[in-house]
Structure 1
Amino acid sequence: MPTLPATFSFDSQDYWITRFTTEPSFEWLCPYSTLRPHLLPYLSESTEILNLGCGNSQLPFDLWRDGYRRVTSVDFAPNVVERMRAEAVDTYPGLQFEVMDCMDLAQLPTGMFEVVVDKSTVDAIACGDDDGMEKMRRVCSEVARVTKEEAVWVSVSYANWRRFEFAGEAEIWGWKTETVAKLNIEEAGVKDGVYIPEVFHYVYVNRKVRVQ
C-alpha cells in the first residue's frame, strides 16, 4: 500500500488518488452477485445507468457482462478513471468513464439517467469533517438533476440510517427511501474468547421525488 498521510478522510480526493496508485481492484461492501437481486428489478438492456464514485470496482464490467451496457461511471480520481477506461476499451466497448466530482456533475446532461448506483460513495462523502451533510445535500441535488422523473437510486451503505429516509425530508433532499434491505455480512461468533457481533450492510432503494 502507498504511504498515506497521518490523518486523512474518506471524502478526500488526495486519499483516493494515493490509494488507487497501487490498488488494482477493490469491492466495497459487497460484490455484484450480492447486489444483483436488488438492482435487476429496475434494469432493462436500454436503461441508462449512472455509477457514482466507481473507483476500481468491477461493477461496471459485471453489469456489461449481464447485458446492461449503457453505464456511465464517474470518479474524482483521474488515475483510476484512466485505468478503468484502459481496461474497458477493448473488452467492454461502450462503457463510459469520466473524471467528475459527485457534487458537480455539470458535464452530464439533465434528465439522462434512469438508475443510479453507488457502493459506499455516499458513506465516504458523509465522512467530511464538518460539512458532510451539506456535501450529501449537494450530491442529492446533482443526482436529481441528471436523472429522469421517477428515477431510482440504489445505494449500498454501512449505515443503518439515511438522512433523507426520514419523513418530511424528501422535499429537501429530492429523494425518498422506498425500501431498505439488510445484508448479513458476518455472523456473530466468538474468536479468541472474544464475542464478535454480527455485521450488516444495507441496500437503500431511493425514488426521485419532486422538490418543492
Structure 2
Amino acid sequence: MPVDFEKQSYWHERFKSETSFEWLASSETFMTIIAPHLSRLPSRESQPRILQLGSGTSDLQNHFRASGYLDVTNVDYEPLAIERGRQLEEAAFGEVRLKYVVADATQLGNDLPPGQRFDVVIDKSTVDAVSCGGTTTLLRMASGIRKYLADGGIWISLSYSSSRFDVEDLPFDVEVIAKILTPKLKESEPDIYHHCYLLRPK
C-alpha cells in the first residue's frame, strides 16, 4: 500500500475528481455482515448511534439511511470527502438528514463534541490507510474510538490484512466475524480474503 495513503494531501488530490469509490467490498456486502450486529446492540434510544470513520466517497451512509438508521455521523478529515457524502445522500434521498463532520480519525478528541458517545463505530478500510503511519498512529485511532464508545459499544472494521490488529497495547478484544473472498483473475490463483473484525473494549 502506498505510504501516501496516510497523507491528507493524497486524499485532497484524489477527491478533487473522485465522486464514488468502495474499498474492499461493496456497501451491500458490508451491510449484510454488520446488520446482525447493529440489531443486537443494547437498546438505549430509538436508534443506535453510529459513527463512520473515513467515510470518503463511499455510499455506505446511504445504506444506513435506507435501512432506517438516521443517527449516523460520517467523519473524514478531507472536506471534499464530506462534501461528496452529502451529495451522495441528497442524490439518493432528495435531502440530507445524516451528520457530516470534518475530523481526523486519529485525533478524535480534537473534533467531536465532548461527551458524545456512539453505540457502534464503523470503518471500511480506514484502519488500513491509518496503519500506513505506523503502529503508534493505529493505537491513537483505537484510543480515540475507545473514548467515544458508549457502554456496550462495538467497533467494526473491514481490512485487507489478516493481522491488522496484532499489535501490543490495543485496548480492545478482537474477533474476525467475516472473511470476504477477493475476485480472482485466474482459477489457479490462491484464495485471498479481506477480513471484517469486531472489537470490544477491554
Q: Do both proteins adopt the same fold according to a TM-score greater than 0.5, normalized to the shorter chain?
A: yes
Which consecutive unaligned segments of at least 5 residues does structure 2 have?
A: 40-45
**How far off its partner does 1:92 sit?**
4.8
Equivalent of residue 35 in structure 1, options 22, 30, 36: 30
Equivalent of residue 149 in structure 1, options 138, 148, 151: 151
SS in structure 1 of the partner of residue 193 of structure 2? strand
**How many residue pairs end up in the alignment?**
191
The residue that corresponds to 1:4 in the other structure is none
* Mapped contact 2:61–2:89 kept (Cα < 8 A): no
Indicate the percent of aligned positions where both proteins have the same amino acid. Answer: 35
Aligned CA RMSD, in angstroms, stands at 2.1
The residue that corresponds to 1:183 in the other structure is 180
C-alpha distance after superposition, 1:32-72 (max 9, x if no partner)? 22112321122256010000100000000111011111110
Which consecutive unaligned segments of at least 5 residues does structure 1 have?
A: 1-6
- Give the number of the structure whose alpha-carbon radius of gyration is greater: 1
Structure 1 residue 123 and structure 2 residue 125: aligned?
Answer: no
In structure 2, distance between residues paired with 1:101 and 1:117: 14
| Structure 1 letter corresponding to 2:198 | V
Q: 1:87 to 1:163 in 2, by over 3 A?
A: closer
| Structure 1 letter corresponding to 2:127 | V
Q: 1:80 to 1:188 in 2, by over 3 A?
A: closer
| Structure 2 letter corresponding to 1:207 | R
The residue that corresponds to 2:105 in the other structure is 102
Work out which structure has the larger RCO, using CA pairs closer than 8 Å and 6 or more positions apart in sequence.
2
In structure 1, distance between residues paired with 2:149 and 2:116: 4
**How far off its partner does 1:152 sit?**
1.0
In structure 2, distance between residues paired with 1:205 and 1:42: 9
SS in structure 2 of the partner of residue 81 of structure 1? helix
In structure 2, distance between residues paired with 1:124 and 1:104: 15
Equivalent of residue 200 in structure 2, options 200, 207, 212: 207
* Mapped contact 1:110–1:147 kept (Cα < 8 A): no
* Mapped contact 2:86–2:96 kept (Cα < 8 A): no
In structure 2, distance between residues paired with 1:92 and 1:202: 34
SS in structure 1 of the partner of residue 21 of structure 2? coil
| Structure 2 letter corresponding to 1:175 | F
* Mapped contact 1:175–1:207 kept (Cα < 8 A): yes
The residue that corresponds to 2:43 in the other structure is none
